[in-house]
Structure 1
Amino acid sequence: MPAASPQPRRPRSGSRRDETARLAVLHAADDLLAEHGFGALTVEAIARRAGVAKQTIYRWWPSKVEILLDTLIEDSDKHLPVPTEKPTAESIRGYLRGFERFLTSNPAGKVLLALIAEAQHDPDTAKSFHKRYLGPRREQEREMFARGTDAGEVSPRIGPDATIDALIGPIVYCALTGSSIPSGLVDTLVEDLLRPRSN
């Protein structure tokens, strides 16, 4: 079965971006968010940290949310790819453990949590977040579970979307509330919800 299509990038306008400047902007946004939080993050501060003109940033991105989405998409593709090979119970378990590490140890995890929080009260952020990140990633995760089920590796107790929510939700909730994630949480979720086939 073919691999899930890559997550779409936002259509861009204006002059072609210099790759060094683009990466500087993404890294600056990532760092400033981790240092000061979403509310204090401004395009002006990103421009200063990246060493580019504010007008240049606005020519490439319409808002700080779109900058953060580019950062999140690229970091997720690099550090948290959804398995595309024939999935096994262990590769799915490994993906969930990777997601836990992504939220708790990777600066991009803070970007994900910030965008989840901002999407709760800003409709434009929610729309872009779902279209550019959550929707495409959910489709990849749905495909992963479907292939695992077809191969007999897992036997979900509930439907695919409810399964994803039930597996991912507790991890996100702990991270959002600042609670430590119990060491056995992923194993318990996998055993209770997926019933991996015994070897």
Structure 2
Amino acid sequence: MASKTPPQPVLFVYVDNSNVWIEGQRIQAVRQGLATDPADAQRRQVATQWHYDFGRLYELACPSTAHIGRSILFGSRPPADDSLWNIAKREGFQVITYDRNAANKEKQVDISLSTTMLEDSYEYMKASRQDIAVLVGGDGDFVPTVKSLKRRGLGVRVVFWSHAVSRELRESADEFVVLDPHFEALTRAEAPQA
């Protein structure tokens, strides 16, 4: 009698788009000599024209051999002429956006990402299959969700920039993948076309 192959873990991917992009801009500012470090870029509110490649980010977050349950990109509602979100959809991401508030601040994104990740953990993820939630974000507000998933036997991989990830989030995850060494590969030479 042939032995059964254990089920392969399924990955569920959740991307905090604004934070990936904002922190990537700060690294770009340092590389262009506009700031001494990412914190300096933040203090001085240095902006650059940096864009990242969704497909390459996805490849870093998930091995090509992985089974993917869901891939969701969260962020603020883009301008009508912003092609990045269409590219994300073409790369296989479900896109969830929210309007900014009257002060042009992003609202509802982190809590929506966290809530969706938690809901998916009950509805779709299976500890018996050793499923993994892949969080592309660095905010410490995600820690309670990460701890909840881990208590129930699910794996958590955090993927983010080293300078912008919460220490507690990094330590709470089973695995931390640093984006920094992949900055060049993630960078688009120019703004993508729709």
Query: TM-score, normalised on structure 1?
Result: 0.28
More helix by share: 1
Query: TM-score, normalised on structure 2?
Result: 0.29
* Structure showing greater Rg: 1
